[in-house]
Amino acid sequence: MKVIKEFPVSAQVFMKHIKDSIQHDLDVNSALKIKVIQGIEYDKEMSNRIGSKARVRVKIATLNDNIYQAEFFGNEGITKITYRCNPSDDENTLVTYCEEFVGETKMKQLNYKLMCWLYKRKNLKRVHLLLDAIEHHLLEENSDV
C-alpha cells in the first residue's frame, strides 16, 4: 500500500519528528538507554486489529535525512514500513508512506494479498488517519515555537 501526502513543514522537521517518535518508542520498550541509529533492533509489544497482543522484533533498516524504513518481524512474516520525504519547496514536504508484507510462507503471503484486497478501504483510512495525526502533531509543535 502506498499513500502520498504533502506536509506543511520542511523535510528536516518531518524527519526530526520521526526520529523523536522512534526514540520515545525505544525508551518505552527497552530497559537500556539506546540512541536511535540505523540497524538497531528491539522488541516491542503490539496489538493487532482484533485486539490480541504479540511481541514483535523491530529493526530500523534505513534512517537518514530523507528515508525511514522499519521492519517488524512477527509470527506471520515481516511487515516493512517506509516514510520517504521529498521537499516540494522550502516549507513543504511530499511524504510517501509505503507498507508491505513479506509472508513467512507462500500461503501467508497469498492470505495477506487477499485480506488487503478485502480491507483496502479500511487500511487506506487507517494510514490517512496516521498521517493526519502526524501532521496535527507537527503543526502543534511548530505553533509552540
> pLDDT, tens digit, for every residue of 17-76?
999 999 998 888 877 788 888 888 988 888 766 667 888 999 999 999 899 999 999 888
User: Which residue range is the domain that position 41 belongs to?
Assistant: 2-144
Total count of domains within the chain: 1
Backbone angles phi, psi at 92, to 5 degrees: -130, 150
The neighbour count for residue 130, using CB atoms within 10 Å, is 15
Please tell me the predicted confidence (pLDDT) of residue 88.
85
Q: What is the CA radius of gyration of the chain?
A: 16
pLDDT digits (tens, 9 = 90+) for 76-101: 888 899 999 998 887 899 999 999 98
pTM confidence score: 0.84
Q: How far apart are CA 65 and CA 51, in angstroms?
A: 34
The SS3 of residue 19 is: helix
CATH number of residue 72's parent domain? 3.30.530.20
Task: Report the distance separating Cα 23 and Cα 63, nearest Å.
Answer: 12
Residue 12 contacts residue 65 (beta carbons within 8 Å): yes
Q: Are 33 and 44 in contact (CB under 8 A)?
A: no
Q: How confident is the model at residue 117 (pLDDT cuts 50, 70, 90)?
A: confident
Residue 68 in grid coordinates: 525511514
Q: How far is CA 116 from CA 99, 110, 112, 130, in A?
A: 11, 10, 6, 18
For residue 145, what pLDDT is reported?
54
